[in-house]
Amino acid sequence: MIWLSWRQFRMPLLVVSTLVVASCAWLAVTGPALARLARRNVDVYDLLTSTDKLLFNGGVVVLAVVPAVIGIFWGAPLVARELETGTYRLVWNQSVTRVRWLAVKLGFAVLATAVVVGILTAAVTWWAHPLDGAVGAQRGSLVSRLTPISFAMRGFVPVGYAVFALLLGTAIGLVVRRSLPAMALTLAVYVFVQIAVPLWIRPHLIPPTTATVTIAQKTLDGISADGSGPFQIMVRARHRGDWVLTNQTVDSRGRAAALPSWFTTCLPAPPGASGGADRAEVQSGRDRLDACFTRLTDEGYRQRLVYQSHRIFWRLQAAETALYLLAAAGLGAFSLWWTRSRLS
């Protein structure tokens, strides 16, 4: 059975392994230079070439796509193709029970997936490590590793995604019994899960920290107005790598509140709006802003931050990986049960 699994799997494995090795080689060539750059410079972002940034974002994209590709091209046809071409009637009548047949097939595919995706993720994580969360002195930044998109492409959580995608594909293929619809359905379900988890589940996997911050110029991140709506204040996270879930203004009773109406008129004109901005004008603007913030604080307004600290990165990785592996185990058990009792 192991020989057959290997024989049926070696071509797709060879293709994917080649791609992974090629990617790793490319990362290995460009990686050390980046690390040196980052060690010597605080503002590494400003020194990056556009190729570096492309590679950084490319790594994110590749790791986002690989688990889905594995689910679609390894998982969905794993059993569906046998059902489709009728070869299950050949292999199920050798002296191996079909549960064992599927278990070995799945075990092989899971192992291959974990190794391939594990290596690729480790390589990308290592490569991107000096760049994660790099911020330019003036403008521009790269996402830090705890932000939803980047988090999913670092550490070991992609292994969980890939194993989940593989077993999701297998289970859907088993039920649908046709490769192509199973592939499409696998992609749809996987994409949905990948959107739903960072949106609704990941923020609560580990209880987030809540902090109340006084609004002042040194804590301010920005003031924004969406269209004609009221102004909104955002304050800075404690640490650049924190993942901010909520950033809202609360009143003296601790309830979310809109900014008072006087605030809009209190604000100074943006510097430079009235033409040549001399130093005195900027300074008077700052003073007015300070006055506005002081009045806000006196009236009891504070800014509430709910965030995940950058320190929990690995704990959150472990929790989310466990969640996905648990779901994958459930799908695997379902597949075995379905093969034994429903596929007849």
Partner 1 sequence: MSAVVAARGLGKRYRRRWALRDCTLEIPAGRVTGLVGPNGAGKTTLLSLAVGLLAPTAGTIEVCGGRPAAGAAQLAKVGFVAQDTPTYAGLTVAEHVRLGAHLNPRWDDAAARRRIDRLGLDPRQKAGHLSGGQRAQLALTLGLAKRPELLVLDEPVASLDPLARREFLQVLMEAVAEDQISVLLSSHVVSDLERVCDHVVVLVDSQVRVAGDVEALLASHHRLTGPRREPRTLPADQHVVWDSHTDRQSTYVVRTDAPVLDPAWSVTPLGLEDLVLAYMEGVSPPAPASPTLEAIS
Tell me which residues touch partner 1 (CB under 8 A).
Answer: 1-4, 7-8, 85-87, 89-98, 100, 341, 344
Local structure of residue 274 (DSSP, 8 states): T
Local structure of residue 223 (DSSP, 8 states): E
Cβ proximity to partner 1: between 98 and 202 the closer is 98
CB of 16 to partner 1, least distance (A): 17
CB of 310 to partner 1, least distance (A): 49
How far, in Å, CA of 157 to CA of 126, rounded? 14
Cβ proximity to partner 1: between 88 and 293 the closer is 88
CB of 102 to partner 1, least distance (A): 14
Residue 146: partners with Cβ closer than 8 Å, 6 or more residues away: 241, 242, 243, 308, 310, 312, 313, 316
Query: Is residue 206 within 8 Å of 308, Cβ to Cβ?
Result: yes
Query: Is residue 146 within 8 Å of 317, Cβ to Cβ?
Result: no
Cβ proximity to partner 1: between 1 and 266 the closer is 1
Give the CA distances from residue 220 to residues 66, 145, 214, 270, in Å, rounded to whole numbers and listed in that order: 39, 23, 9, 15
CB of 9 to partner 1, least distance (A): 11
Cβ proximity to partner 1: between 265 and 341 the closer is 341
Cβ proximity to partner 1: between 87 and 217 the closer is 87
Cβ proximity to partner 1: between 98 and 145 the closer is 98
CB of 77 to partner 1, least distance (A): 12
Residue 202: partners with Cβ closer than 8 Å, 6 or more residues away: 148, 151, 316, 320
Cα–chain center distance at 296: 36
φ, ψ at 246 (rounded to 5°): -135, 140
Of 228, 225, 303, whose CA–CA distance to 267 is shortest?
225
CB of 6 to partner 1, least distance (A): 10
With residue 222 as reference, give the H or E element that holds it.
strand 220-225
Cβ proximity to partner 1: between 100 and 240 the closer is 100
Q: How many residues does the chain have?
A: 344
How far, in Å, CA of 258 to CA of 230, rounded? 7
CB of 86 to partner 1, least distance (A): 4
Cβ proximity to partner 1: between 95 and 274 the closer is 95
CB of 84 to partner 1, least distance (A): 10
| 3-class DSSP state of 236 | coil
How far, in Å, CA of 274 to CA of 276, rounded? 7
